[in-house]
Amino acid sequence: MGETGRARLEAELARHYAAQRDEVAPETTDALVAAMVAEDARIRRVQSRRMGTAGFVASQVRYIPAWTWAAQAALVALMCVLAYAAGDAGSTRVCIGILSAVCVLVGVPAVHASKLHRVVELEYACAHDTASVLVARLIVLGCSSALAVALMVGATAPAVEASAFDVALWACPPYFLSCAGSLMVLRKASPAAAPALCVALAVACSLALLALASTVPDLYSHASLASWAAAAAAALAWLAREVAMTMRTAREGLDAFSPHLARTYN
């Protein structure tokens, strides 16, 4: 095609597309410009009050299922009933440890939500990535479960005629072990296996408490408090390690934190 033919074709195309163009009234153009200016102003206001760390952590409360809070409240109520209606101080002492471990278990689905719903790769693309979301939810659920355990301790102490410090020592080792075990499962297990493994961990912790209570008569005596303190310190050290390992793994990206998903893209 020569230069003359190319110029004629371009002119025909220009006339064709010009004929398809609708006439826009000046008022419509003015309204569109005003809407664009208003939207730009709105975006600037939103950016100027960008959410801080505290606000982001607080925002995660609405994403925790309501049944989680209801379950923790039910565990506190159950502990109160067992403490004052069971009539057996020995079984009440064991129950405070078991229910402390279970209190962690009810928060597992919310902590594992990214993996359970397979949205980890989506969160890595967000401004607040998987690691940030995980930290925020751990803070929210850690505070709520710690409050639940504290309420259970407060209800149990007068019922078994022990100090709140003693009862807290009985509750802390299984509580810390359940927290650490749940994070280990989150870091290493696939979504399909995670819930069952967390339940198995809580059951194993409960059975171990029952076995110790039946084989060690002085387990809950005042003389054993040093052993409980040592167990709590060891469990807390494991929990601190698991928190650090989980955060580091989450920050390393999809291949490290969720390899069962990453493999599908490699």
Q: Tell me what percent of the residues of the chain surpass a pLDDT of 70.
A: 83
pLDDT tens for 74-124 read 999 999 888 887 666 778 888 899 999 999 888 888 877 777 767 666 666
What H or E segment, with its residue span, contains residue 185? helix 164-188
Q: What confidence score (pLDDT) does residue 100 get?
A: 92
Q: How confident is the model at residue 252 (pLDDT cuts 50, 70, 90)?
A: confident
Answer for the pair 164, 157: CB distance below 8 angstroms, yes or no. Answer: yes
Q: Which residue has the higher pLDDT, 266 or 15?
A: 15
Q: Which residues contact 57 (CB under 8 A, 6 or more apart)?
A: 135, 136, 139, 140
User: Structural domain boundaries of the chain?
Assistant: 13-48, 54-258
Q: Which residues contact 86 (CB under 8 A, 6 or more apart)?
A: 92, 95
CA 204 – CA 242 distance, rounded (Å): 19
pLDDT tens for 43-71 read 677 655 566 677 777 777 887 888 989 99
210, pLDDT greater than 80: yes
Residue 121's Cβ-count burial label (10 Å; 0-12, 13-18, 19+) is middle
33 phi, psi to nearest 5 deg: -65, -40
Provide the b/e sequence for 160-190 (b: ≥16 CB within 10 Å): bebeeebbbbbbbbbbbbbbbbbbbbbbebe
Q: What confidence score (pLDDT) does residue 261 get?
A: 58
Q: What confidence score (pLDDT) does residue 264 get?
A: 47
- Give the predicted TM-score (pTM) of the model: 0.72
CA 252 – CA 246 distance, rounded (Å): 10
DSSP state, residue 8: H
pLDDT tens for 140-151 read 888 899 999 999
